Amino acid sequence: MKQQRQLAVSAYTPADGFIRRYQKLVKDVVIPYQYEVLNDRAPGAEKSHVVQNYINAGKVLRGEDGGDGFYGMVFQDSDAAKWLEAVAYSLEIFPDEELERKADELIGLIEAAQDADGYLDTYFTIKDREKRWQNLTEGHELYCSGHMMEAAVAYYEATGKRKLLDVMLRNAEHIYRHFIGEGRDGCPGHPEVELALLKLYRATGERHCLELAQYFLDRRGQDPKLFAKEAKRRDWTVWGSDGEDVEYAQMYAPVRRQSDAVGHSVRAVYLYTAMADLASETGDEELLAACRRLWESITRRRMYVTGGIGSTVHGEAFTVDYDLPNDTVYAETCASIGLMYFASRMLEIAPDGEYADVMERAFYNTVLAGMQLDGKRFFYVNPLEVVPGISGVAVTHRHDLPQRPAWYACACCPPNVARTLSSIGRYAYGISADTAYCHLYAAGEVDFGDGFVVSCETGYPYDFTVRYRVKSGVKRLAVRIPGWSRTYCILKNGQECRTEPARGYVYLENMTEGDEIMLVLDGRPQFVYPSARIAADTGRVAVQRGPLVYCLEGVDNDGDVLSLSLDADAEITVGEKISGLPKDVVPLRLKGFRTAPGEELYTMQRPQRTACEITAVPYYVWGNRGENQMRVWVPCQV
């Protein structure tokens, strides 16, 4: 079923430009900073204790005193896993002996924290080994295993070292024995291990990993009350969950019968990613049909213009169709990362520009917005409207912060951003038996295999010319034409190609050494109009240029964006560089009006308004110049 596949991270070598700068930031700042956090040495950051948890777990297994015990969330181990995965990808781009040594040292601690039977989880090893596998609803044992499996595969592929891979193969075999060998009925409360097991299967050929992934997917929703029954069998809990909310954990129906994206948004897209991956691996058409329904549910009725998903803080979840509030939104960074994963797996099954468009939207907007430009502060939640004094303060808005914190007690998002940025090449490019695919525009050199090597030159996402040059080999090349580009021009060796796109891709036959392709996309800014079904956006418009959604910040607009409205009939122009932002950031200038706020809460007097010029900046850079108002959807005067 799989029509094309992701390339290995090592197949893409970034060139100077937007992507490489971010990957260099991850290598030079984010990974070292997060290492200090994991070791509780980062000034001003919340205590992590991740490394010490592994040390203490090792002591417990050796019969020694467990030190100061376990500290953190039940899934604290996953922070170490995602850090190691980011390190692995970074080492493939920027070899670093000292960083590799630190990773090896941490892997040694992880190995020492693995029980003799293959079990690995510091929370239960330290706190109470007798409670293992009793709380699938909340315990996150399988979730932590999944992230460590992903790290193990990435580190093995990057370095050739098997220590962590062997640790996680033993762990996978332990899980297999428990659930399949011993007949334990269950599935993860938080999906993740399913997609990780499929990665482990492809890396090692171990069939038990494939069988276990399929078992967990097949069991989900067969008994919607599974978690509720589990809760009644024990007299302890982590967060007080009783398992009765069958939508929260995507348990409302077997996966092949699910149609609506519901519940915790990160759990949902991790689950759907695994479903799509298994469908492509086994040719399961019924599972694929469910994936397509769920994809449409998200992208056509439950996704923000920024690629954010998850409308409510209650359960960090999807709600219902077209319920997309801007100031109380959740839109967790990890959820948009998971949406990228889902899009990438669907893209492997059917090369369709729709999937790449969503992957790009999520990446350039919500995922990048999740990290401060200096790489040291992070958003968990990504609002589309912020008002200091309300956002982060009012009981309804406490989760929507006006500034990125340095770290979190629940720190799933920061290392998730790091691993995604470091591995972006695998999402940008793909390969089939006869075609090399360019899904995203990332400057650098790409080795598609079979001797076919292509270089890409571009200043994207601020420049809209992309040049591909075949350095060696012969193959068909597929270049994506994004849905947002109203016009485009593609030239082969200086001659315009008249080839029409097929499902969002132009296919260029028999590309050979020395051939050059130049793609020119439409870089004109444009207004984005919402569906009339989205109540929160009635009478509003957003602004987009290329893949970048823009927002208004108070710092650029006399401190107040709430009184502004846009003239949708006026031309949008490109502005000059703005102080305090990277030099390549392109602001936009718009025409509009400012309404006098008035002194009374309500009045019968018609508000006074004056014409004004309005400045917009890319959404991903907001919140980098101090606390101020921000708005994506702006009232519109037509």
3-state SS, 297-342, equals: HHHHHCECCCCCECCECCCCECCCCCCCCCCCCCCCHHHHHHHHHH
pLDDT at 428: 98
* Positions in the chain whose pLDDT score sits under 70: 407-413, 637-638
What amino acid is encoded at 106 in this protein? L
What's the pTM?
0.97
Q: Which residues contact 62 (CB under 8 A, 6 or more apart)?
A: 112
Burial call 374-413: b when 16+ CB within 10 Å, e when fewer: ebbbbbbbbbbbbbeeebbeeeebebbbbbbbbbbeebbb
Note the Cα 577 to chain centre separation in Å: 29
**What counts of helices (H) and strands (E) characterise the chain?**
18, 22
> Looking at residue 499, what is its pLDDT?
85
Going by C-alpha positions, the residue among 394, 295, 401 that lies closest to residue 354 is 295
Catalytic site includes residue 316: yes
In 3D, which of 567, 562, 561, 556 has the Cα closest to residue 592?
Answer: 567
Contacts of 320 (CB under 8 A, 6+ apart): none
Give residue limits of the domains in the chain. Answer: 46-246, 253-427, 432-521, 527-637
φ and ψ of 178, to 5 deg: -70, -45
Closest CA to 272 of 264, 285, 283, 261: 261
Strand segments, DSSP code E, in 497-637 are 505-512, 516-521, 526-528, 540-545, 548-553, 564-567, 573-574, 588-595, 609-618, 630-631, 634-637
Residue 438 is among the residues annotated as catalytic for this protein: no
25: left (phi over 0), alpha (psi -120 to 50) or beta: alpha
Q: Within 10 Å of residue 455's Cβ, how many Cβ atoms?
A: 16
Phi and psi of 291, rounded to 5°? -60, -40
Whether 303 and 343 have beta carbons less than 8 Å apart is answered as no
- For the CA atoms of 534, 417, 505, 352, the dihedral, rounded to the nearest 10 degrees, stands at -60
Alpha-carbon radius of gyration of the chain: 25
Provide the pLDDT for residue 407: 63
The per-residue pLDDT for 598 is 82
**Adjacent-strand bridge partners of 385:** 631
Domain 432-521 architecture: Sandwich (2.60)
Beta pairing, strands 474-480 & 435-438: parallel
Nearest to 479 by CA among 518, 532, 531, 421: 518
Q: What is the pLDDT of residues 52-107, one digit of tens each?
A: 999 999 999 999 999 999 999 999 999 999 999 999 999 999 999 999 999 999 99
The residue from 92, 100, 141, 316 that is catalytic is: 316
Sign of CA dihedral 246, 249, 253, 257: positive
At 415, list the tokens: 């290392």
Per-residue pLDDT at 81 = 96
Q: How far from 379 is each of 25, 414, 637, CA to CA, in Å?
A: 17, 8, 32
Strand order across the 444-447 sheet: 12-14, 444-447, 453-458, 465-472, 516-521, 488-492, 495-496
**Residues listed for the chain:** 638
Q: What is the dihedral of CA 342, 348, 354, 358, to 10 degrees?
A: 30
Catalytic residue among 144, 209, 412, 456: 412
